[in-house]
Amino acid sequence: MAKAPKPLWLRIYNFLSGYTLAVILLSILLVLTYLGTMAQVEVGLYDASEKYFESFFLKDKIGPVPIVLPGVYLVSVLLFLNLLLGAIIRARKSWKRPGMLIAHGGILYILFAGFVAFHFTEEGSMMLYEGDRADEIYNLTDWSIEVARHDADGKRKAALVIGEEDLKPLWEKGARRTFFHQGMPFEFEIYSYSRNVTNSKGQLTGVPLEKDRGKYPDAGEFIDGLAVVPQKESKTREANVPATYIKVKEVSGKVLAHSILVGANPFAPRPLTVEAGGQTWSIDLTRRRYSLPFGIELIKFTKEDHPGTARAREYASDVYRVDDGETTDKYHISMNKPMRYAGYTLYQASWGPPDAKPGDRLYTSLAVSRNPADQWPKYGTYVISFGMVVHFLQKLFAHLRRSARSRKKKEVAQ
């Protein structure tokens, strides 16, 4: 009698929790790691990371043949599922092998930490001269559009933020997207978004004047004497400055503004100003900013050079934490000694200006991050180590027991 076929759900479950999928996924990870690493040479660190390591799927080519591959994000999700089903749920539970369960639990924990870090980390920079204060950081590579209502003094209490994740689809040629919010008396359309409008020297060569129209046959529409012309993107992603066309409309359809937004200097925002509903609003294309729940004031920046050179040997920042406008605790931040407060870590990252001469005033550059899973990989490693130690000790004791038994047997036989 023929054996009854297994139900579909069981076959899927077996596949998802099986070694076959684990081997396939690990092989794909190997290939993607190789491709992603090699691609960094061509497109730079961030773009390669986004394309290969942060995507669900990616388009690539083998020679002239276009192919679609799963991204590391998808592979990691499947690997998590595979480990959970195969090594935890489906695996034989026995007091003889708790170490393996613990070790696989540790691997799952690290994969989960990666997921949390990827989705919830806030990273940015803060540059301060001595005496300066700041309570916001900005990301060097991600851009955003911030929309804010200003009171009579020109101040903003909050900003609506369109993050890079919603701007990314606009990188495609021909893409356009209308953004709205119930608290905003208008909506606006973003189109012909260009990821970079600067040349290698940082000049805005992608925003030509109308009088030079002849030199830019590919230029889009000219608005108030300027247009947007995409320029070659730099592999150093932080050097790219985006620009886009924007059309602001009232709900009735009346056009309030038709203009261009160009990526702004985070220290001197110069946004598009819109008057709507008797209120003043600003729309700014800016590096992604994050507000901190506290401020930092730089008291002193110290840089020590290697003798006889201008190469920094050591640099450090003495700062005050500022709460509600008042300076509070003092911290010393150096290269291996970050400041940790309220879930944020402030590292001594750099200093500038890069072309500073001896005696010039210097600023400190602090890298700030808030990663809820900051320490999780460390804990995960401890868990894996503990699991391995338990497993190998059990194996060792089992081996010793077997050896003792076999010695006894031999002794009895003699």
Partner 1 sequence: MLVPVARAFLVLLLAVLAACKPVNDRKEIKTVRKMGKLAPDVELGLDLMERVSGKSQEEANAGASDVPFAWDVPDGWQVVPGSAMRMANFSFGESAEGQCYFTMLRGGGGLLLNLNRWRGQMGLDPVDEAALAALPDRRFLFGNGKFIELEGEFKPMGAIESLPGYKMLGLIMPEMDMGDIKVAFFVKMTGPKALVESELENFNAFCASLRMKRARQ
Q: Using the rule CB under 8 A, is 133 a contact of partner 1?
A: yes
Question: Which positions from 73 through 132 interact with partner 1, judged by CB under 8 A?
Answer: 127, 129, 132
97, 150, 247, 332: residue in contact with partner 1 (rule CB under 8 A): 150
Measured distance CA(42)–CA(13) in Å, rounded = 40
Of the candidates 198, 246, 249, 196, the one whose C-alpha atom is nearest the C-alpha of residue 221 is 246
Q: Using the rule CB under 8 A, is 172 a contact of partner 1?
A: yes
Strand 65-70 and strand 344-352: pairing? unpaired
Question: Which positions from 252 through 281 interact with partner 1, judged by CB under 8 A?
Answer: 259-260, 262, 264-273, 280
CB of 216 to partner 1, least distance (A): 15
Question: Which positions from 379 through 408 interact with partner 1, judged by CB under 8 A?
Answer: none
29, 223, 349, 367: residue in contact with partner 1 (rule CB under 8 A): 223
63, 154, 217, 278: residue in contact with partner 1 (rule CB under 8 A): 154
Q: CB nearer to partner 1: give 35 or 45.
A: 35
Of the candidates 228, 252, 259, 256, the one whose C-alpha atom is nearest the C-alpha of residue 242 is 228
Burial 353-381 (b: 16+ CB within 10 A, else e): eeeeeeeeebbbbbbbbbbebbebbeebe
Q: CB nearer to partner 1: give 117 or 161.
A: 161
Stretch touching partner 1 by CB under 8 A, among 43-51, 81-89, 98-106, 167-175: 167-175
Ramachandran bin of 365, using left for φ above 0, alpha for ψ from -120 to 50, beta for the remaining angles:
beta
Question: Burial level of 192, CB count in 10 A (0-12/13-18/19+)?
Answer: buried
Q: CB nearer to partner 1: give 146 or 233.
A: 146
Q: Using the rule CB under 8 A, is 156 a contact of partner 1?
A: yes
Of the candidates 125, 36, 131, 124, the one whose C-alpha atom is nearest the C-alpha of residue 75 is 36
CB of 353 to partner 1, least distance (A): 9
Q: Which two tokens stand for residue 283?
A: 């729309």
Q: Which residue has the tokens 């130690």?
A: 389
The answer to whether residues 275 and 256 touch, using CB atoms and an 8 Å cutoff, is yes
Question: Which positions from 23 through 52 interact with partner 1, judged by CB under 8 A?
Answer: none
CB of 413 to partner 1, least distance (A): 50
- Whether residue 353 is preceded by a cis peptide bond, meaning omega within 30 degrees of 0, is yes
48, 184, 383, 384: residue in contact with partner 1 (rule CB under 8 A): 184
CB of 280 to partner 1, least distance (A): 6
90, 96, 181, 407: residue in contact with partner 1 (rule CB under 8 A): 181
31, 89, 158, 389: residue in contact with partner 1 (rule CB under 8 A): 158
Question: Which positions from 274 through 313 interact with partner 1, judged by CB under 8 A?
Answer: 280, 282, 284, 289-292, 295
Measured distance CA(292)–CA(286) in Å, rounded = 17
Q: CB nearer to partner 1: give 166 or 374.
A: 166
Q: Using the rule CB under 8 A, is 15 a contact of partner 1?
A: yes
CB of 130 to partner 1, least distance (A): 11
CB of 98 to partner 1, least distance (A): 30
Q: Which residue has the tokens 């180590």?
A: 385
The answer to whether residues 141 and 154 touch, using CB atoms and an 8 Å cutoff, is no
